[in-house]
């Protein structure tokens, strides 16, 4: 026969056991998509994505409670659009979008799934958000450039290669529609520096070398604004500029290690880590439309000294003193 004390103990255990069991149940697995216009084999792209993962892990999002699904666009618009459809079909809780083309592709598939972007130059001008302080929709993130930086590219190129009088701005219109965002600033600076500026659009990798070849003259130079296509195909670009001895500056932090003369760009890895913070806030209940778009605060100048020597350029001391990275 069960005593009263025993009965109360059993009853208490029966009452509290379901609550304890519920408390021990694992948190719902979250799915985070990553759609990047860059190439998976790009070591800099891998480093950037690693910074994003680190940002999430520091806030408690690990393999136990979050799964990250990656899609790499390799600078190809059709591929990016296909992957956008695939990711949204997986019903992710949030998506990291790397590049303007990636954001646009995702916005074509959803107006509800939260999207946090990086490597986007002009989110307002490109219609990705209506207001940078309070975006209001399902998209927010980290802009990587500002209009004045385009004039800085020209200024730096002219400083390292004073003989340059004709500069081409090379980009793929499909992956870098934001180039118009920079042209006014470049052209304004060109008038002051006595430089003629021309647009040099390219549609595919095979067009890169002929476009560079058209600049094959002692006073030619090239500016490559942020463009996932040009980043994915920078090997072809570097080979062409070396072959035709053309000084170039890219808005791509990894390009100098590949052999481009100069790079000037926002410090990008920290923005990826901060993107992890934004995704964390969204997973914990905040709306992306309530998270303001953040502008870059730090820029990095890199110079390839070997390329400078190969081009017969003596890098001014003024640039060496301010360069964040010198590549031999």
The larger pLDDT score, comparing residue 181 to residue 103, is at 103
Please report the pLDDT score of residue 20 as a whole number. 42
Report if residue 323 sits inside a domain.
yes
Q: Are residues 37 and 99 in the same domain?
A: yes
The larger pLDDT score, comparing residue 159 to residue 4, is at 159
Confidence band (pLDDT; 50, 70, 90) for 184? confident
Report if residue 7 sits inside a domain.
no
Report if residue 12 sits inside a domain.
no
Domain count, the chain: 2
Q: Are residues 95 and 113 in the same domain?
A: yes
Residues 6+ apart with CB under 8 A from 72: 36, 38, 39, 40, 45, 83
pLDDT tens for each residue of 69-106: 999 999 999 999 999 999 999 999 999 999 999 999 99
Please report the pLDDT score of residue 97 as a whole number. 98
156 within 8 A of 180, measured Cβ to Cβ: no
Q: Are residues 160 and 186 in the same domain?
A: yes
Residues 6+ apart with CB under 8 A from 21: none
Report if residue 168 sits inside a domain.
yes
Report if residue 44 sits inside a domain.
yes
Mean predicted confidence (pLDDT) in 193-202: 93
Report if residue 17 sits inside a domain.
no
Report if residue 10 sits inside a domain.
no
Q: Are residues 126 and 240 in the same domain?
A: no
Mean predicted confidence (pLDDT) in 285-291: 97
Q: Are residues 184 and 280 in the same domain?
A: no
Q: Are residues 260 and 156 in the same domain?
A: yes
Can you give the CATH number for the domain in which 76 is found?
Answer: 3.40.50.2300
Please report the pLDDT score of residue 146 as a whole number. 73
Report if residue 164 sits inside a domain.
yes
60: left (phi over 0), alpha (psi -120 to 50) or beta: left
pLDDT tens for each residue of 6-28: 333 333 333 333 444 444 445 78
Q: Residue 38 gets which letter from DSSP? A: S
Q: Which domain holds residue 197?
A: 148-266+300-327
Q: Are residues 216 and 290 in the same domain?
A: no
């Amino acid at each position: 026969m069960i005593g009263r004390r025993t009965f109360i103990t059993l009853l208490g255990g029966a009452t509290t056991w379901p609550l304890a069991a519920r408390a021990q149940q694992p948190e719902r697995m979250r799915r985070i998509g990553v759609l990047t216009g860059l190439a998976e084999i790009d070591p800099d792209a891998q480093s950037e994505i690693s910074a994003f993962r680190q940002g999430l892990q520091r806030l408690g999002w690990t393999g136990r409670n979050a799964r990250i699904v990656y899609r790499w666009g390799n600078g190809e618009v059709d591929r990016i659009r296909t992957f956008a459809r695939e990711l949204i079909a997986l019903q992710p809780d949030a998506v990291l979008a790397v590049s303007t083309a990636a954001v646009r592709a995702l916005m074509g598939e959803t107006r509800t799934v939260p999207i946090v972007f990086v490597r986007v130059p002009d989110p307002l001008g490109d219609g990705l958000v209506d207001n940078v302080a309070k975006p209001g929709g399902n998209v927010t993130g980290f802009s990587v450039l500002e209009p004045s930086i385009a004039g800085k590219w020209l200024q730096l190129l002219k400083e390292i290669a004073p003989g340059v009088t004709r500069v081409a701005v090379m980009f793929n219109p499909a992956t870098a529609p934001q180039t118009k965002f920079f042209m006014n600033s470049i052209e304004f600076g060109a008038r002051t520096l006595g430089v003629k500026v021309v647009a040099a659009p390219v549609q595919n990798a095979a067009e890169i070398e002929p476009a560079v070849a058209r600049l094959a003259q002692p006073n030619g130079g090239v500016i490559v604004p942020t463009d996932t296509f040009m980043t994915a195909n920078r090997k072809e670009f570097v080979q062409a500029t070396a072959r035709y001895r053309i000084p170039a500056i890219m808005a791509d932090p990894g390009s100098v290690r590949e052999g481009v003369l100069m790079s000037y760009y926002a410090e990008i890895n920290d923005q990826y880590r901060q993107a992890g913070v934004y995704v964390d806030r969204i997973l914990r209940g905040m709306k992306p439309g309530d998270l303001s778009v953040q502008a870059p605060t730090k820029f990095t100048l890199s110079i390839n000294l070997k390329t400078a020597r190969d081009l017969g350029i003596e890098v001014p001391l003024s640039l060496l003193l301010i360069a964040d990275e010198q590549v031999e």
